[in-house]
Amino acid sequence: MKQKLVDKPAFEAVGWSLRTTIVDGESMRVVPAFWDKCQSEGKVDALGARAGSFGILGLCCDFDERAEAFSYVIAVEAGAGQKPFPAGTQKVVIPAATYAVFECIGAMPHAIQDGWKEIMAAWMPQSEYVQANPVNFERYPSFPQGDERGDPASPRCVTEIWIPVRKK
């Protein structure tokens, strides 16, 4: 898995939210189902129409360590001049950070889930970094129509995991 460090200024994102937990692997089951539901209801397409060059995001935020719970938000970066977002969406403020960015290649949801597992089990414990702030995210970049890299079912699908880091 390719990894690089990227400095990103603070930004706001807006999207559809789900509360879940990591207990018993719940998030690995309910997040893909949440994506499916939002896609079938046209919510992902509605966000995609507002997505800039950064693409669609899967934010992990509002962590509650005691309950091992967090909010997962399917979102896009909010910017000046965008149409208003639909009722029921949530805004998340993401602080400026240096991110460890990991490229995941493969069909969803397995490629992104395997990426998270590898990062948390191997890379984070062995690296010289710790997580710096409580918002990390998945990035689903925009690709031209018909490009396999943007097709979630394709073995060539490209996604990224962004984790804010600081040196230990």
Q: What is the DSSP string of 86-148?
A: PTT-EEEEE--EEEEEEEEESSTTHHHHHHHHHIIIIIHHHSSEEE-SS-EEEEE----TT-G
Q: How many domains does the chain have?
A: 1
pTM of the model: 0.93
Domain range spanning residue 33? Answer: 3-167
Specify the CATH number for the domain of residue 59: 3.20.80.10
Predicted local confidence at residue 107, as pLDDT: 97
Average pLDDT per block of 10 residues along the chain, 168 residues long: 94 96 95 97 90 91 94 92 85 95 97 95 95 92 93 96 96
Predicted local confidence at residue 1, as pLDDT: 82
Predicted local confidence at residue 51, as pLDDT: 86
